[in-house]
Amino acid sequence: MANVLVVEDHADMRDIYKTLLERMGHHVEIARDGVEGLNQLRGRPDLVILDLSMPLASGDIVLGFIRSTPELSRVKVVIISALPNAEKLAEQLRADACLAKPVELAEVRRTVERLLR
């Protein structure tokens, strides 16, 4: 079982990801925006599911913080975004995976399983 943090500003998507991840056997914390996400990183999750377009602090800020903080640098990060340049940003920010919205839950499952092996 892994600790997973879902940082997503849309409540329905947070709930869908949370349900999927819990059914996979993971402990899930949720954050409604980038600031909450930054605060919840203190729990040192194993994996973060991260939207890029959020209020207060965008996903690129959250990911930049993760990658620049030594004790968090090994956290796996999956970006799930509808932004047209999400893949390029994900590569630049050293995300472990990038999925385009709308995303199939089976694809989320496969990506999480691969990254947590």
Task: Enumerate the domain spans of the chain.
Answer: 3-96
- Would you say the pTM of this structure is higher than 0.85? yes
Question: Would you say residue 55 has pLDDT above 80?
Answer: no
CATH number of 3-96: 3.40.50.2300
pLDDT of residue 85: 86
Q: What is the DSSP string of 51-101?
A: -SS-SSS-HHHHHHHHHHSGGGTT-EEEEEE--TTHHHHHHHTT-SEEEES
Half-sphere exposure (CA, 13 Å, Cβ side) for 7?
31
- For the stretch 58-105, pLDDT in tens is 888 899 999 999 999 899 999 999 888 889 988 998 999 999 999 999
Amino acid 27: pLDDT: 97
What's the whole-number mean pLDDT along residues 42-66? 89
